[in-house]
Amino acid sequence: MVHPTTVLAEIDQQFPESLDRLFELLRFPSVGTDPAHHKDCLATANWLVGQLKGMGFTAGLRKTTGQPLVLGQYAPPGGKKLPHILFYGHYDVQPADPLELWTSPPFEPQIRKGKRGQDAIFARGAADDKGQLMTFLEASRSWLKVHGSLPFRLTVMIEGDEEGDASHIDTFLKTHAREFPVDAVFICDTGMWDAKTPGIDTRLRGCMGIEFTVTGPRIDLHSGLYGGPVQNPIKVVSRIIAAIHDKRGRIAIPGFYDGVKPIPAKLRKAWAGLKFPAKKFLGDVGLSVPAGEQGYSALEQMWARPTAEVNGIHGGYRGVGSKTVLPSEATAKLTFRLVEGQDPRKIRAGFKAFVKARLPKDCKVRFDDSGGNSSGIAVSEDTPWIKAARAALKAEFDREAVLMGAGYSIPVVESFKKYLKVDSLLTGFGLPDDNAHSPDEKYDVASFRRGTRAWARIFAQFAGK
């Protein structure tokens, strides 16, 4: 291993320029899901191509079924025997609405104090994922300036549809998998355990979304004339939703837990040792009483247990004042967070059967299956990539990295595993208070600087071997 002292010094010395480049990127309103921002997404992608070319990469845009994909390649001289790494990130961001809740304009980045008194970069995309992906690119820039070449072959892949439709990158990888004979994927779209302790995600829950609409009478009806003998679709939907969980918080859909493995005792003990502050976690969002599946801690529920959640329910009159009406139909939107071993397609079929079995004779149901279909992922904790990252993160933060689970989904991790046959190293520098997807999104200046330094230390693990 080459000691990265000179690279770390270069990162610190030119950090103001790194901030300037990040600010340039943050000014692009690259909302990938909004057609009105397609030109902004294209401009963002071209800016990234320019940055990669300026660092010595072969780079350009590739067409997808969605936003353009940024693709960069770096091949060190005589590097055929070196490991081939693929770095993945995304340049698209969530919509900034509601704008009135931002302290400063979402696409005019500024540094000001966060709630902990720390310097933070406030802008949409600061943490998710522009600040994160720039830690890797800035580490690469400094390493190249000091050493002239990287200690591995590198493919950089930055997409513009992560916040919307995962099928675009999945289709691209399925079609072009042979172009990417890589040894591992590095992803910086995750977080630390806390502001002082780094983390590596080894578990991700998948997500299966579904919507169902129950129809009763052919039109909305006067509740005084028809109330009583007529089936009310809102009542039907409510009864179905109420039946999904039993009194212990377990999901009552037949076959739902097929393939779910018990949490190993050693892992449960390790997680208990983290002393996750569940009461504070709930208190921060105005709650106090733990809910969820009994017999599992809050951390275990989020990291290793599947869930069924109702994201929305509507039907009937929703205007100002009252309207005495029996609605013709009612709709519920649900997402199921799935763990390794569960088949989202079987869960979808099982839920449909569950709904139909509880449907009254005079009612009909239709389903909307457009809500995604990703599986849960578990990565072996003893891969050489994780070992290298753990050593590097400890050197930078002077603390052992926590091997964490994550309740959210990153569907592309499943796509990389399925088509490229490789595992992903998931290490990022976001924090729980970054307000990703919310107004006043921010990324700590320390997260940006130390994240960049941490990647340089990871690079050093591959150098001199």
pLDDT at 357: 98
- Quote the CA–CA distance of 311 and 334 in Å, as a whole number: 5
Give the Cα-Cα-Cα angle 243, 244, 249 (nearest 5 degrees).
Answer: 105
* Cβ-contact 428, 192 below 8 angstroms: yes
Nearest by Cα to 338 from 414, 242, 434: 414
Is residue 185 located within the same domain as residue 72?
A: yes
Using a 10 angstrom Cβ sphere, with 0-12 exposed, 13-18 middle and 19 or more buried, the burial of residue 242 is: exposed
Same domain, 200 and 348: no
CATH of the domain at 354: 3.30.70.360
Whole-number pLDDT of residue 465: 45
Q: What are phi and psi of 201, to 5 degrees?
A: -85, 125
Query: Using an 8 Å Cβ cutoff, are 236 and 216 in contact?
Result: yes
Whether the CB-CB separation of 185 and 416 falls below 8 Å is answered with: yes
Q: 3-state class of 311 per DSSP?
A: strand
Measured distance CA(69)–CA(90) in Å, rounded: 9
- Partnered with residue 333 across adjacent β-strands are 211, 312
* Residues 214 and 359 occupy one common structural domain: yes
Q: What is the pLDDT of the chain when averaged over all its residues?
A: 95
Same domain, 356 and 419: no
- The pTM score is 0.88
364: in domain: yes
Condensed to tens digits (0 to 9), the pLDDT of residues 146-173 reads 999 999 999 999 999 999 888 999 999 9
Q: Which residues contact 344 (CB under 8 A, 6 or more apart)?
A: 206, 208, 336, 338, 373, 374, 375
The answer as to whether 236 is a domain residue is yes
- Both 118 and 181 in one domain: the answer is yes
User: Does a structural domain hold residue 283?
Assistant: no
Average pLDDT estimate for 307-313: 96
Burial of residue 436 (number of CB atoms within 10 Å: 0-12, 13-18, 19+): buried
- Domain span at 74: 5-204+376-462
Same-domain status, 157 and 246: no
Residues 422/180, Cβ–Cβ less than 8 Å: no
- Confidence grade of residue 464 (pLDDT, cut at 50, 70, 90): low
Read off the pLDDT of each residue in 88-96 and give the average, rounded to a whole number.
Answer: 97
Range scoring the smallest mean pLDDT among 68-72, 106-110, 433-437: 433-437
Helices (H) and strands (E) in the chain, counts: 14, 18
What is the C-alpha separation between 381 and 270, in angstroms, rounded? Answer: 13
pLDDT digits (tens, 9 = 90+) for 382-426: 889 999 999 999 999 999 999 999 888 888 999 999 999 999 999
